[in-house]
Each structure stands twice: as structure tokens, then as C-alpha cells.
Amino acid sequence: MLSTPPHRLAALLAGDARTAAPWVIAAARWGLPAAQLRLGRMLLGGEGLARDPAAALAWFCKAAEQGDTDAANMVGRCLEHGWGAPADAAAAAVWYRRAAEAGEPWAQYNLGHLLLDGNGVRRDPAEAFAWYVRAAAQGHPRAMNLAGRCCEEGWGTSRDPAAAADWYRRSAEAGYFRGQHNHASVLAAEGRADEALGWFERALAGAPAASRPVIEAALAEVAPC
């Protein structure tokens, strides 16, 4: 392991899960945070290894304790959703905040959700909005969409339709289907049906099955007869 050149090791760790598994396990046991994070993801998703959420959480913790903010976010995800340990939103919030304050955009987005809903923490829409904006400023498409919702609904900030429309547009252009749907809805409300049609179609193409009916209904309203 020590004699493997860094670029070669990186390629091995990032390769096909089944092929990479022995290298990832060895590097994780050696103490490399990136390998511990990758091993955790493989165990959580059953990629190249048997699925083992409890072991995944243990590896995420090891990487997080070495300062890996992505791993700290994943510890939070496991604790929020009960992957490998009993669900504990309050503990999840502690890990999200730790990673969020270190600049991890996914953790900022996830912490925003807990704060917006009051899940495991005191409800604080204003702080939630602030975290969404911080994540969005780093290019996080989902956070852009949530910043837009906050501006549209007045969650933690003043209602501002123009700001909401801008955030939706940015999320849409970054490829997030919910942002595309919301951006299309704004365009349709402005009477820009042709533009809205294209964005609804893009949202539909990227949406999971559960979200498709709502988008299909919106698309039908603007589609030419």
C-alpha cells in the first residue's frame, strides 16, 4: 500500500466498486479518510460488498473524526434516517452543524431542513434560510431551490417573488428537477408558455417516478392542444 503511487491509489479507490473493494478496505484500515468514506458508502449502498449500514456508520465516524466533512455529513444522514443506528435527529443535527460550519454544502442543506421543520432542534426558519443560502452560494442546486421556496413563502425571510424566481432559475439551470419545475411554474404564471413548456419537459425527464404526476399535470396545462 505504501509503495503505491498516490495517483494510482486514487484511481484504485475511485474505480469499479467490486474491483476497488480490496484496495478500499486496505486503505481504510490503514487510516486514510477518503478510503474510509468510500468504504462507508459502499457498505451503505451494498456496492461491491454486502450491505452493512452499521459498519458503514462506523467507517463514516472514523473518517469524520479525522476531519473529513463529507463523512461528518454522512454520519448525520445515518443518524437522521436510522441507517445503522436508531434514528436520532438531535444527534444528526450535531453532526450536520459540525460539517456545515466547516463549509460542507450538503451538511448546510441538511441542517437547513432540520431547522426549517424543527426536527431534532428548535425550529428556526431564519437560520434554515441562512444555511440554504450558504450552500447555494457554493453551487448546491437543491439549496438554491429551497432558498427560492423560502423567498416565495416567507419562510425565515421576507416574501420576495423576484428573489424566489431568481433562485429557481439558478437551480433549474444547475439541473435540479424541482428547481426546473418551479422555474417553469414562474414562467407559466408570467404568460411565457413556450419557455415554461421546455423547462417542464426537462423537469419531467429528470424527476423520479413519485414526482412525475405533478409535473405531468403542470406540463399538460401549458402544452399546445
pLDDT digit string, tens, across residues 91-117: 999 999 999 999 999 999 999 999 999
Q: What's the pLDDT at 8?
A: 62
Q: What's the pLDDT at 54?
A: 98
Query: How far apart, in Å, do the first and last CA atoms of the chain sit?
Result: 64
Q: What's the pLDDT at 16?
A: 83
Whether the per-residue pLDDT at 151 is higher than 70: the answer is: yes
Q: Is the distance from CB of 83 to CB of 69 less than 8 angstroms?
A: no
Summarize the confidence of residues 50-72 as an average pLDDT: 98
Q: Is the distance from CB of 90 to CB of 124 less than 8 angstroms?
A: no
Please name the amino acid found at residue 130. A
Q: What's the pLDDT at 1?
A: 46
Whether the per-residue pLDDT at 4 is higher than 60: the answer is: no
Whether the per-residue pLDDT at 65 is higher than 90: the answer is: yes
- The rounded distance, in Å, linking the Cα atoms of 106 and 101 is 11
- Kindly state the DSSP code that residue 160 receives in the 8-state scheme: -
- Kindly state the DSSP code that residue 139 receives in the 8-state scheme: T
For the record, the C-alpha cell of 158 comes out as 421576507
Radius of gyration of the chain (CA): 20
**Residue entry with cell 478496505:** 25
Q: What's the pLDDT at 5?
A: 54
Number of Cβ within 10 Å of residue 3's Cβ equals 6
Query: How many helices and strands (H and E) does the chain possess?
Result: 13, 0
- Condensed to tens digits (0 to 9), the pLDDT of residues 159-174 reads 999 999 999 999 999 9
Every domain of the chain and the residues it spans = 1-66
What DSSP element (H or E) covers 165?
helix 161-173
Q: What's the pLDDT at 2?
A: 46
- Condensed to tens digits (0 to 9), the pLDDT of residues 172-195 reads 999 999 999 999 999 999 999 999
Taken as a whole, the chain contains a residue count of 225
**Rounded to whole angstroms, what are the CA distances from 15 to 1, 20, 47, 62, 97?**
16, 6, 12, 22, 31
**Residue entry with cell 462506523:** 58
Whether the per-residue pLDDT at 135 is higher than 90: the answer is: yes
Q: Is the distance from CB of 159 to CB of 151 less than 8 angstroms?
A: yes
Summarize the confidence of residues 11-15 as an average pLDDT: 70
Number of Cβ within 10 Å of residue 88's Cβ equals 15
Q: Where are the beta strands (DSSP E) in the chain?
A: none
- The rounded distance, in Å, linking the Cα atoms of 182 and 116 is 19
Closest by CA to 68, choosing from 44, 32, 41, 92, is 32
Q: What's the pLDDT at 12?
A: 66
State the pLDDT confidence band at 17, using cuts at 50, 70 and 90: confident
Closest by CA to 195, choosing from 157, 169, 159, 162, is 169
Summarize the confidence of residues 120-131 as an average pLDDT: 98
Average of per-residue pLDDT values in the chain: 94
**Residue entry with cell 449502498:** 45
